[in-house]
Amino acid sequence: MDSHFRLTSVKEDDLVDYLKQSYSDPELYSLCRQLEIDKNDVFSKYLPKKQNCENLVETIQQKDLMSELFQLLQSEKFYRRRLIETFPDLDLQSPIEFEELRRLVEKVYTINNETSDSSQNSMQWVKACKEKMVLVLGKDSPQEYMKELEDICECVEKMGYTPILIKKQDEIETITNEEKMLAYASISRFVIIEKSYPAGQIDEAKICAINRFPTIWLQKEGMGDTWMQGDYHIDQRSIQLFKYKDKNVKGKLEEAVKWVEQFIKEKSESLNDLYPWR
């Protein structure tokens, strides 16, 4: 690939539009960090997103970082399918997918040792899980209850996530049931708890609440596992209850996922504003 990515052919308006449509504000802040640009010099909460993207592109041009920007845009973290279509003359490439990424997400305790830098490998492993993995909890026995959870997983998978059921994950001899659930929940993007029937998820729901994991509660109309937790979603922003009927569980899941992704977006923005090193 040409080392300068044929950058003279890049139209500024196309780049601004691509950044605006392809990335959330936290992702744009992350681009700034990678390029060693102070986001506070570029972004203003009082300006529309397009203007902020124009400011970012202008800063990148001034600092002669266009080549570095397009290297980042081709990386696994920032790559979007529209990239090659938007800039067809730049001879850009999609990132090389990690071999067996899906296996790594589904069996998160397994470490891919193909890379010599174990710390870098661990970071990529956690990032992959936090982007796609969803922990689904609920009453899982007898089999008819497991089937309900599997149906939820199927819906979640069609939305582009990698759902996992705690009961189907291999045991680790040194940890308890609670520790196992906590380990998976902490590296999941979010947690879904089916709370229509009394079972172990009552304890799991409390663990998620204490640790402030983004959590969707699904509950059939007229049913529930315990009134002792019936108010959690009122006080805690990280939890939301969605009641459904059998015929509309897919629609409710879509509504719930839309809510949790918005919550994660707002949380990311707040944390990026709070922590000075971000």
**Does position 256 have pLDDT exceeding 90, yes or no?**
yes
Give the whole-angstrom CA distance, residue 171 versus residue 162.
Answer: 19
Higher per-residue pLDDT: 244 or 107: 244
pLDDT of residue 35: 92
Q: How confident is the model at residue 1 (pLDDT cuts 50, 70, 90)?
A: very low
Torsion of CA 110, 112, 118, 120, to 10 degrees: -100
DSSP-derived secondary structure letter, 41: G
Alpha helices by DSSP H, listed for 133-245, are 143-158, 177-186, 201-210, 232-235
Lowest pLDDT segment from 29-33, 105-109, 204-208, 226-230: 105-109
Token digits of residue 35? 């390029």
Rounded mean pLDDT of 112-124? Answer: 58
Rounded mean pLDDT of 73-95? Answer: 82
Grouping H, G, I as helix, E, B as strand and the rest as coil, residue 240 is: strand
Q: pLDDT tens-digit profile of 3-53? A: 444 555 678 899 999 999 999 999 999 999 999 999 999 999 899 999 999
**Does position 112 have pLDDT exceeding 50, yes or no?**
no
Token digits of residue 191? 């947690």
Rounded mean pLDDT of 210-234? Answer: 89
Give the whole-angstrom CA distance, residue 229 versus residue 10.
Answer: 55
pLDDT of residue 217: 94
pLDDT of residue 109: 46
Grouping H, G, I as helix, E, B as strand and the rest as coil, residue 43 is: coil
Kindly report the pTM of this predicted structure: 0.59
pLDDT of residue 251: 92
Give the whole-angstrom CA distance, residue 105 versus residue 84.
Answer: 27
User: Among 3, 60, 6, which Cα is nearest to 28's?
Assistant: 60
Give the whole-angstrom CA distance, residue 37 versus residue 40.
Answer: 9
CB 9 within 8 A of CB 89: yes
**Does position 227 have pLDDT exceeding 90, yes or no?**
no
Tell me how far the alpha carbon of residue 233 is from its chain's centroid. 21
Higher per-residue pLDDT: 82 or 150: 150
